Amino acid sequence: MSATNGRLDGKIALITGSANGMGYAMTELFAEERATVIAVDINKHDLAKWDAVENVVPVLADITKLEDIDRMVGEAENRFGRLDILCNVAGINDLCYPLLETSDERWDKVLNLDLKAPFRICRRVLKGMVERESGVILNIGSYAACRGNHGPSYSAAKHGIIGLTLSIAVGYANKGIRCNAINPGGINTNIALHSGGEYHPSGMGMLSDIVGRCPIKLFGEPEDVARTALWLCCEESKHINGAVVPVDGGLSAC
């Protein structure tokens, strides 16, 4: 990726999940477009990639903990005076576990990271955005938000992300705040590794069977999501609010 014309010049952005995958690609591109990026992740080893990188401030945090959310947002606002952009990217999936094999523990783990954490971060960041009457929020949903071919906890969490996005878009439009979402399809990331295990055989078999019959290229790259995120967070999309944009090669059309 290479910088174009500094479309985020002077902006302060906070991106979760910055150490890998889509969050990493977004952090890289936003910094190239001259934003200052607060790069948040729980993985200390991988987060070190951003040490001494210009325009990137790595922050180690567990976004399932309210105190870490308060700390990371508070430190960013105190240091830079504001947050212009929030991108909720960090997440896991439920490894396609069917309902009858979904434990309370698995449900809570997925919902806490994929839905409750973005809700809490949005709530914390919105305080400052409302005061300034300016801001952009981008949430990462999933193709699974609109289909029933994943496990119930992941589908429910991502469906909830869409509801959260639309509610914020309507509720705070009069404060100069935009909120949109991206629904990625299959993206080449290591989400399974970070989700804590192997895919459920029958659940993954069902997913593979369904999407395998779609006449599209299944997997995209994290950069495909990053470029869409850049557009949704810059002034070029200033009239886009409450949108849910599929970045899936056409998978959701099948």
97 noted as active-site residue: no
* Residue 175: how many other CB atoms lie within 10 Å: 14
In angstroms, the CA 159 to CA 153 distance is 10
Which of the residues 24, 97, 143, 154 is marked catalytic? Answer: 154
State the distance between the two ends of the chain, measured CA to CA, in whole angstroms.
30
CA dist list (Å): 37 to 34, 80, 84, 91, 120: 9, 11, 10, 19, 20
* Residue 200: how many other CB atoms lie within 10 Å: 18
CA torsion 10-121-132-33 (nearest 10°) is 10
In angstroms, the CA 9 to CA 3 distance is 11
Q: Which of 114, 212, 103, 121 is nearest to 154 (CA)?
A: 114
Say which amino acid occupies 132.
Answer: R
Report the catalytic residues.
154
